[in-house]
Amino acid sequence: MIPHEWNILCDFDGTISVEDVMDSLLDRYGRPGWERLERDWREGLIGSRACMSGQVALLEMSAGELDAHLAEVRIDHAFPDFVAKARELGVPIHVVSDGLDYAIRSILGRHEMYDLPISANHLAPGAAPNRWRLVSRFQAAGCASGTCKCACADRSHGDGTRKTLLIGDGASDFCVADRVDLVFAKHRLIEHCRAAGIPYIPITGFEDALAFLPALLEGRLPELTTFPQPQDAPV
């Protein structure tokens, strides 16, 4: 199959996975203080990298407990079919996440998707037993996120001959949504795209994304009523 002109960047937590993995780990293994960090991030007092780094340092769990927890995390049931179809059509998929690489690899590996490229924060052992630390290998200058999705999008465009589709659901996708060619949006990303006037197609999951993919590649997307309508300019 000849590679298609499109690339796909796909968020993980809440998009591929049914739940946010880090939130579920904090609920089970987080020591006091992680809620304050979460609140500071939501109020814009700190960036996501500072929030995640502090929260990971508050996790107290063994490697065995971590693996057992990750074995319970479910993914969108249609994601494997979506990946298979994209590969059949020659469209590369890259998982870009402000979450944890170990968790993503473990969960996707359970579904025999070991070889999907992943850009995410690295989860590393801490200095004390059952403690952990965050290493942000994909951060960028001037970006407060652990994984700079804008930089990932820039690399995805390559020499400018390829287009990029973003599939995402939340705050970590806001800044990159206007740097790609099209967005398949869930949840809060729908609200953001609508408010910012960013072209998007709303999806509830990968069944929808799978249905839209052939139309996207063939240039026969839904009518513009699928996209946000421009508001009248003030007089």
Residues 6+ apart with CB under 8 A from 209: 78, 82, 167, 184, 203
Domain locations in the chain as residue ranges: 6-18+75-122+137-226
Q: Which tens digit of pLDDT belongs to each residue from 48-98?
A: 999 999 999 999 999 999 999 999 999 999 999 999 999 999 999 999 999
Q: Which tens digit of pLDDT belongs to each residue from 179-233?
A: 999 999 999 999 999 999 998 999 999 999 999 998 888 877 665 334 444 444 3
Alpha helices by DSSP H, listed for 19-93, are 21-29, 34-42, 48-57, 63-70, 79-88
CB burial of 45-75 (b: ≥16 within 10 Å; e: otherwise) equals: ebbbbbbbbbbbbbbebeeeebeebbeebeb
Q: Give the domain 6-18+75-122+137-226 fold.
A: Rossmann fold (3.40.50)
Alpha-carbon torsion (62, 64, 65, 70), positive or negative: positive
**What's the predicted TM-score (pTM) here?**
0.90
Q: Which tens digit of pLDDT belongs to each residue from 25-52?
A: 999 999 999 999 999 999 999 999 999 9
